[in-house]
Structure 1
Amino acid sequence: MRNVSCHLLAFTFLSFATSASAQMPGAGGPPPVGVVTVTETAINETTEFNGRIEATDKVNIVARVSAFLEEQLFTEGADVKKGDLLFRLERPPYEADLEAKAASVAEAQATLENANIAFDRADQMHKSGSGSQSTLDNALATQRTSAAQLRSAQAALRSSQINLDYTEIRSPIDGRIGRAAVTVGNVVSASSGTLVTVVSQDPMYVTFPVPTRKLIEFQQKRTSGGSEGLRLRLRLPDGRIYDQTGILDFLDVSVASDTDSITVRGAIANPVIHNGQRELFNDEFVRVIVEAVTPQKVLAIPRAAVLTDQQGDYVYTVGADNVVQIRRIKLGQSTAETATVLDGLAVGDKVVAEGVQRVRPNAPVTPQLLTTQLATKG
């Protein structure tokens, strides 16, 4: 009786194990895999380049005359306006020279007035027959010489006035001023070099080299999308995406022979964000993101579904009979999460996205539809 009970217990356990094995996916049957259905998604295609910020206007301030530097009238690193007085040089020597030139003009005017009187007298005597032609000719020559001397004296006066004006050095543009290279008390002149630099702040330029092959693509997008076919975004040195967008506004005239690339320039706003500060600085290194304005429809699948071998990229597709096939694909622009497919798949195809390690070509699987939403740029 005891043996019968043991046999019955063993038979019951075996039956239960067999039934459980039949219900467990992958235990003796096709392995379970997660699949996604290929869909069409609209994305804004982007390309990144290394770029550098440049001020639209940059002025190196230099002295135009030689004199002692008497005053510095700005705060280093502050914003300045066009016409603001930056430096004042020693003025007395130039004021004295201006007075001397003014005296020379007055003297030349008096000489010309006397020459005019002498010419009029000689002309009247010649007309009355009491004066000679040579006397009239000499009076005319003296008059013309005096007029020329007056013009020369007036030109010297203007030159002296210009030199005096140069003792006040003003900002030629609106912008931000840098550090002064010369301190008060030094003698400065045109040969002293840059006293200080002023750079404009808003907008700013960003320049970056683009391979000629990629440039052709950009030009096609601009043609199809008009002047707004492309826009610029910036990735700042800390990794953040700058919140302003820019436009392409300049293409260099020559291709760099060593890199087969051409310099492209864009313009982008640089507004004040807080406490008078701005985010973009002259000569700052950034990543330039060139983005197509018009979204492009592409086929998108999870990046995890894409495999690579010596022949290139491929995916596993599942047919109506749940049999796996290898499908060679051509990828477009992709992210860490999403791959865009240019060729090899069609809308509605089912692609293995999970459990690819359990898949064998031409073998059956147990597909389970995934509903994970793809992350795309748009």
Structure 2
Amino acid sequence: MRRALVLPVVSALGAMLLVAGCGDGKQADPAASAPPPAVTVIRVSTAEIRPATTFTGRIEGKEKVELRARVEGFLEKRLFTEGANVKSGELLFGIEKGLYQAAVDQAKAALLTAESTLKLADLDVERQTQLFQRNVSAQATLDQATARQGEARGNMLAQRATLEKAELQLSYTDVTSPIDGRIGRASISVGNFVGPSSGVLATIVSQDPIYANFPVTQREMLAVRKEQAANNTGPFVVYIQLADGSRYPSPGKIDFVDNTVNQGTDTVVVRAIFPNPNGVLVDGQLVTVVVETGKGESALVVPQQALQVDQAGPFVLILDKDNKIQVRRVDVDSVRGADAVIRKGLEADELVVTEGIQRVRPGQVVTPTEAKRGA
């Protein structure tokens, strides 16, 4: 019984071996049948590089206004979207007007009464003057009429001032924007009682142009001045490097150097002004300020993302004429925004791999796609 079970199994194994033996003896190579991996390459280019110094800076709005209530009352309306751009003179908050409108009406009525009293006093002085000239009235009577005229005029002026004050307080119930800029979050909700002691209702910061403040040490200031005096270099060119390593497209210019030195850090605050039409730079933002000076020199640059580093140092992957990957050791001079300045190791127009680096190895044939700089 046991022998009868073994025989079919042995026969099946023999058949499998026979089928396997009938093959060509070669196993399929998945790598050989796969298409070449795709990579993105970019040409090594030349750029004019000027000596540069980097500083840590802080963005500051050219104008910054904290809106506050100037009169007391319940906040009735908010007429803006938080974070939106507002124009100078635009109505932003509304405070209840009832009491202030009543004060204006009352002041107008008092002014009318005072003007009528003054008019009557003027007529009395005119009449008493004529009577005195005809020797019909005494000097004392004219003096009394003149005194009443002066009192009436003073009362009229006081009532006019009261009306102006009431109208001014009524105007304060409309909180408008004094500048063009971007408004932040409203700190007090509609329905709350507000007044001069309520704090800031909202903050408006102007957007274009905008400042970048950065501290410069006395040693750096002296070095720059000596460089300018020795080489007769032109004005500074100031750039901003953003958090992602990219360079803000519009250069700025230095418009202010503080007249005092911080004794704790021995630095002077320098301010540069930048155009900011799209609101990319935001008040309070931490940035890297790059100040370039001197004469520019031509140098080779590649995107930072093409650089790789191992124990032997930095290198890039380049593409030869047969679309094969080769390793090229390089000397990096400096980093400028999204680019790295290469001192040695590359030639202009060579193709370096920027994307797909992890999928390839030296000597491997690839399918390249060339990207344009700045794309």
TM-score category, normalised to shorter length: 0.5 to 0.7
Deviations 1:26-58 (A, max 9, x none): xxxxxxxxxxxxxxx974110000000001011
**TM superposition score normalised by structure 1:** 0.65
Structure-to-structure mapping, 1:99-138, within 5 angstroms = 99-138=105-144
1:8 corresponds to which residue?
A: none
Q: Which residue identity does 2:275 align to in structure 1? A: A
Please tell me whether residue 94 in structure 1 is matched to residue 70 in structure 2: no
1:235 corresponds to which residue?
A: 241
Structure-to-structure mapping, 1:5-24, within 5 angstroms = none
Correspondent of 2:263 among 254, 257, 261: 257
Q: CA deviation at 1:223?
A: 7.1
Aligned pair count? 266
CA distance in 1, matches of 2:90, 2:269: 35
Correspondent of 1:161 among 151, 156, 167: 167
CA distance in 1, matches of 2:161, 2:243: 55
1:20 corresponds to which residue?
A: none
CA distance in 2, matches of 1:172, 1:227: 42
Please tell me whether residue 75 in structure 1 is matched to residue 76 in structure 2: no
Q: Structure 2 unaligned segments of length 5 or more: list them.
A: 1-46, 300-331, 349-375
Are the aligned partners of 1:218 and 1:230 in contact in 2 as well (CA < 8 Å)?
Answer: no
Are the aligned partners of 1:221 and 1:230 in contact in 2 as well (CA < 8 Å)?
Answer: no
1:54 corresponds to which residue?
A: 60
2:290 corresponds to which residue?
A: 289
Secondary structure in 2 matching 1:191: coil
Q: CA deviation at 1:213?
A: 2.1
Structure-to-structure mapping, 1:314-325, within 5 angstroms = none
CA distance in 2, matches of 1:200, 1:168: 21
Correspondent of 1:191 among 191, 194, 197: 197
**How much identity, in percent, do the aligned residues show?**
37
Structure-to-structure mapping, 1:362-373, within 5 angstroms = none
Q: CA deviation at 1:218?
A: 3.8
Cα 1:226–1:80 change in 2 (3 A) is: farther
Secondary structure in 1 matching 2:334: coil
Are the aligned partners of 1:234 and 1:241 in contact in 2 as well (CA < 8 Å)?
Answer: yes
CA distance in 2, matches of 1:225, 1:283: 36
Q: CA deviation at 1:335?
A: 2.5
Cα 1:116–1:78 change in 2 (3 A) is: same
CA distance in 2, matches of 1:201, 1:177: 10
Q: CA deviation at 1:65?
A: 0.5
Deviations 1:307-362 (A, max 9, x none): xxxxxxxxxxxxxxxxxxxxxxxxxx95278799xxxxxxxxxxxx8xxxxxxxxx
1:335 corresponds to which residue?
A: 334
Q: Which residue identity does 2:216 align to in structure 1? A: V
**TM superposition score normalised by structure 2:** 0.66
CA distance in 1, matches of 2:53, 2:140: 87
Are the aligned partners of 2:64 and 2:203 in contact in 1 as well (CA < 8 Å)?
Answer: yes
2:281 corresponds to which residue?
A: 280
RMSD of the TM alignment (CA)?
Answer: 2.7
Correspondent of 2:72 among 62, 66, 69: 66
Secondary structure in 2 matching 1:249: strand
Secondary structure in 2 matching 1:190: coil
